[in-house]
Amino acid sequence: MEHAVIERFKALDAAFVMRAGRGERMTARFAALAALNAPLGVESLIERTFETRDSLNRALGNWRAPSKAMRLVFAAALVSAERTTEHFLEARRALRDRRAERGSRSLTHGGACAALALVASGGYPHQADQFYDILDAIAAPWWRREPSREEIVAAALAAMGEMPDEAFDRLERARQTLRDAHIPGSAIEGAAYEIAFLEPSSGDMAAAWTSLNLAVRGRSELKSGIGKTGLAILAAHGHGQETADALVRSFEAVRAIKPSLTGQMAAKIAMRLTQAQLGASAPMGAASDLAAILAAQMAAAAAVTAATTAAVAATS
C-alpha cells in the first residue's frame, strides 16, 4: 500500500492535469505538489486554485512576474496557505516600494518569489522592512551568493518575526552543522537556506547522508536530479534508512505517472514528497524548484540560439 502522501499527490496530479491545458502539464504537476497540504478536498482545491490563477492573470497581464508558466503553482501555494491574490499583490507592492525607498538590491523574479514566501509563511506587507533588514544581514559574498534562496529564506524568517541577527545566527548554525556532518562544500550554501528551520543534529545528518547516497547509487536520474544539495537537505531530516526508502519510493511512484516526466523533474518532485512524508511542509519548494527548472531551460535555449547564430555567422 502506498504512503498517504503519495496517494494524495497522485489524486491531485490527475485532477490538475485533467483541468489544465496540454501546455500546462508540467506546471500542473508542480501545482499539485504545492497544494499537497491544503486543508481542502480535491474538487474544492482545484476550483479555488484555478480561480486564483485567473485572478493573478487579470492582475498581472502578460509580462509581469511571475510568468504565466509559474502562476498556477503560485495560485496553488496561496490556496494551500489560505491566502489570496490580494495578499500576494500587496506584499509584492510593499517589497517593490520599500526597495525603491531604501535603495536595496533588485530582487529575482521581480520580487514575486519573495512576496509569495512572505505571505505563504503567514507574513504581511508591513514586514517589508524586516525582510530587507534580514536580507542585508544574511547576504553572502557575491561569489557564493544564491539570490533566490536568500530572498525566500529572508521572507520566511521575516514572517516568523525573527530579527536580522537571529536570522544570521540561524544560517551560520546550519552551515556549521553541514560541515560537521561532512557534507561536501559545494552543497553547503544551497542546503543551509532550507535546513535553517530544522536545527538538525550533525550526527543524524551524517548517518542519513550515508543512507541516501547508498539509496541513489545506480539511480543516475534520481542522483543527478536532486544533486548533492538535495541529498543534504533530505539528510537534515535524519531518520537515515527511512528517509532513503521514502525517496526511492517517491521517485518510482512519480516516474510511473503518465504522461511521464523527465528524470530531473521527477527527482525534484520525489524530494519534496519525501519531505512531506517526514512531516515537513514546504509549499514554496514547488515554486522555487519550478523557477529553477524554467531558468535552466531558458539558459539552455539561449545557449543553443547563440551557438546557432555563431555557426551561421561563421559560414556566411
Q: What is the pLDDT of residues 103-147, one digit of tens each?
A: 888 898 889 999 999 999 999 999 999 999 999 999 888 878 888
34 falls within a domain: no
> Structural domain of residue 110, as residue ranges?
88-315
pLDDT at residue number 60: 93
Running DSSP on this structure, what letter comes out for residue 259? S
Domain contains 198: yes
The reply to whether 133 falls in a domain is yes
Rounded distance, CA 148 to CA 293, Å?
13
> How much of the chain is helix, strand and coil, in % rounded to 5?
80, 0, 20
Averaged pLDDT for residues 223-242? 91
Give the model confidence (pLDDT) of 2-45 as tens digits.
789 999 999 999 999 889 877 788 888 888 988 888 888 899 99
Q: How confident is the model at residue 263, as a pLDDT? A: 75
Tell me if 210 is assigned to some domain: yes
253 within a domain of the structure (yes/no): yes
Based on the structure, what is the number of domains in the chain? 1
Mean pLDDT of 204-209: 94
Question: Is the per-residue pLDDT at 307 higher than 60?
Answer: no
The answer to whether the CB of 135 falls within 8 A of the CB of 174 is: no
Average of per-residue pLDDT across 202-216:
94
Grid cell in block for residue 65: 512576474
- Is 295 contained in some domain? yes
Q: Distance (Å, rounded) from C-alpha 49 to C-alpha 77? A: 9
Task: Identify the sign of the CA torsion 158, 162, 167, 173.
Answer: negative
* Contact call for residues 204 and 238 (beta carbons, < 8 A): yes
CA distances from 289 to 1, 25, 134, 192, 309 (A): 28, 15, 23, 16, 30
Q: Strand, helix or coil at 315?
A: helix
Q: Is the pLDDT of residue 50 over 90?
A: yes
Report the alpha-carbon distance of residue 33 to residue 219 in Å, rounded.
Answer: 22
CB-CB neighbours of 289 under 10 Å: 24
- Residue 32 maps to a domain: no
- As a whole number of angstroms, the distance between CA 265 and CA 28 comes to 12
Give the model confidence (pLDDT) of 54-95 as tens digits. Answer: 999 999 988 888 888 889 999 999 999 999 999 999 999 999
**ω into 66 cis (within 30 of 0):** yes
Is residue 218 assigned to a domain? yes
